[in-house]
A and B are shown apart, each in its own frame.
Chain A
């Protein structure tokens, strides 16, 4: 059977990060094909290449047996590829009918848009999809499920032969998922090729005939779904060696530093309880969207919480007050250091001393000398590589920027450090350095909470692992209990055998 669309030995790098390396798989007509992999395995990059947003560095996309070059989304569309993104991409001010027709509106003789025909098309598509959406209403205010359906109608109206769905079910309820699947199955049986990305294995087995597994940007295997058990899939998604990347030092575990009890926030997370002791690294694991960062932001006081308590060093900590948390001895290294962790235009020394500028100032003024000596001390301890302390932070590499963020918080002498995705976007060498640093800090008695999407990092660094799924604690595992499989099972809500 020849493939409708074939990804052939495709690679794509962003700067030094190789997002996709030599991946090949075919999409056949009348078949639903699942693409699975951990966060950051390169699935979204594949989607964006098929959508014409990114161009592969090497390798080719083959449409109907002929190599195709997409210079933009319009080319992919013309080739019959429709993409439904995780985040719907509708035009809120335009009517539903217009959203569906955008780009191939029916025209009258005078090349004007034939609104009647456009409306009729939308209505016909909705009948076919078995849904009731008013084609004349604006897209603004539609529920996520309805937006998803409008996106599908859009794909249908453009006569798409390849439908790519990037986690379409993430925001849908059970009934809505069923409806979406019924529609997708019908499309598949009419001869469309479907590529389906999901973290939910029951959906994959229910919908798909073939599955491609990716890991670290590489192709692991492409096989019929019936030949693989869920166990097989998970094992292949995560299976890799824990290398010397994770130099875990033995630390003496001390008293309880942080005690979170029954923490909840309407619609985000609920009933979260865990403790962190001095010298301990506790990892918060789970899939993207499980609520890991949200929980720690609430603990630190950046976000509010509705229920539960946070006790820090034996005292109850006021919610929604990051200043109080900082004074008490908590530090937060945020996920997005460019946006939240650093002021890119300011110098290294200024950034290091930012949280303490008040303590360092005399009569409300900051003097260079004191700032400099402090900054020197910390950057040296962390082996930060830079030209001069007065250089803007923005000129440093990602790993060194991360060290400046760490220096900034360590300079405040914290008792607890929360690090959110500490090594995202950092090259492998610096990654190991950051790990060594965290480990040695813990050995010196610092309590560390690490939020991470990278399983090896979680397993390599953590003394205990709290796994979150859909806003609640799915499991708490000790270092001995934790394997890639047990963590993934918990994160995806699968039963352990």
Chain B
């Protein structure tokens, strides 16, 4: 958010900035509490392998969450990301199966391109078809999944058919950080900075905050909206390549149902579903929290079925927390106004 407490800021302003930041802070606290509790029960939770697995699983979700956050901030939603992931994963896997010589960078770019095309279609349909994003992306979600199934038939690409350099991308590290995690960090931070510090990003916030005012303010709403969907699609495509490299075995059902995990991560991460507020790095933290919860429940040998219920409860909690924070901010501002 905009409020950064400068040294000269008034106490009230700092308090306000603090309130805004509570969302991300809340997630960090929840994360720490969860990790400490789980590790106390089972120290293996903090083993290098366990942390590595958590981070690798988070990477795919976080990349998608960054794109989804951009769309949700404009008061839209992209439900097609799971199918786009599947399509991109299968496309890249078949390509590498046939041409093992294709370098990793090209594979990543192809994934991005496949996703960007799918996202552009979403954006155009939402903007020029005047159809709500929920409906458009629900439709394209089924379409891309259908395309993937009819392309793959019952076939699957297995790890043994893929080149070594591709599969090792998921395991090799730079400075101890696995490549996919590095990609996720770069994506989340990069998108955060664009949304925070660049005109295009602020215009997306403005569009979500008040669509009518955005039109009147002369913001290029069409260009921005289609751009937001392209970002979401492209990042889902990128996630598809990471998915293929990590799991090696790809069929047409890859990423089935991921879209709801992604939306959950975004909402838990503090992006308001009604648009206009929240941060991309918050959404990334949301992805991390959801993944850690999944792992913690396994380590604590709590029935996996509880995981979904807990994620559900968390979403509701997140939305309630938003509400409470909004009310507190409103009250704080009113109180301050009465002093002025």
Hey, which bits of chain A sit against chain B, CB under 8 A? 51-53, 72-78, 83, 85, 89-95, 97-98, 102-103, 105, 107, 111-113, 115, 132, 134, 136-138, 140-141, 143
Contact = CB atoms under 8 A, between A and B. Distances in A.
A53 B2 contact: no
Given A92-B210, A95-B2, A77 B333 contact: no
Contact of B219 (A76, A103, A134): A103
A132 B318 CA distance: 35
B266 interface: no
A102 B202 contact: yes
A73 B218 CA distance: 5
Given A73-B216, A91-B210, A91-B213, 15 more contacts: A51-B216, A73-B217, A74-B219, A89-B210, A90-B210, A92-B276, A94-B209, A105-B202, A111-B199, A112-B193, A112-B198, A113-B197, A134-B336, A141-B333, A143-B337
B7 to A, nearest CB: 12
Contacts of A90: 210, 213
B198 A102 contact: no
7 contacts: A85-B216, A89-B213, A90-B210, A94-B276, A95-B2, A105-B199, A134-B10
Interface of B is mostly: helix
Contact of A115 (B2, B193, B213, B214): B2
Which of B193, B217, B330 has most chain A Cβ within 10 Å? B217
Contacts of A78: 218
B3 interface: yes
A489 to B, nearest CB: 35
B145 to A, nearest CB: 32
Interface in B67-108: none
Given A98-B2, A136-B13, A137-B16, A93 B209 contact: yes
B334 A141 contact: yes
A74 B214 CA distance: 10
Given A52-B218, A98-B2, A140-B330, A113 B210 contact: no
B215 interface: yes
Interface string B193-211: 1000111001101101110
Interface in B325-340: 329-330, 333-334, 336-337, 340
A95 B216 contact: no
Given A95-B3, A103-B218, A141 B330 contact: yes
A74 B277 CA distance: 24
Interface of A is mostly: loop
A91 B209 contact: yes
Contacts of B206: 91, 94, 102
A98 B272 CA distance: 19
A89 B209 contact: no
Contacts of B213: 89-91
B13 A134 contact: yes
Contacts of A105: 199, 202
B198 A97 contact: no
Which of A74, A90, A134 has most chain B Cβ within 10 Å? A134
A110 to B, nearest CB: 8
A140 B337 CA distance: 13
B212 interface: yes
B164 interface: no
B313 interface: no
Contact of A136 (B2, B208, B210): B2
Contacts of B219: 74, 102-103
Chain A to chain B: the 10 pairs with minimum beta-carbon distance, closest first: A74-B218, A93-B276, A89-B213, A95-B2, A91-B209, A93-B209, A73-B218, A112-B197, A93-B277, A77-B218
A98 B9 contact: no
Nearest to B17: A136
Nearest to B3: A136
A168 to B, nearest CB: 15
B276 A91 contact: yes
Interface in B287-325: none
A207 B3 CA distance: 38
Contacts of A107: 199
B208 A93 contact: yes
A384 to B, nearest CB: 31
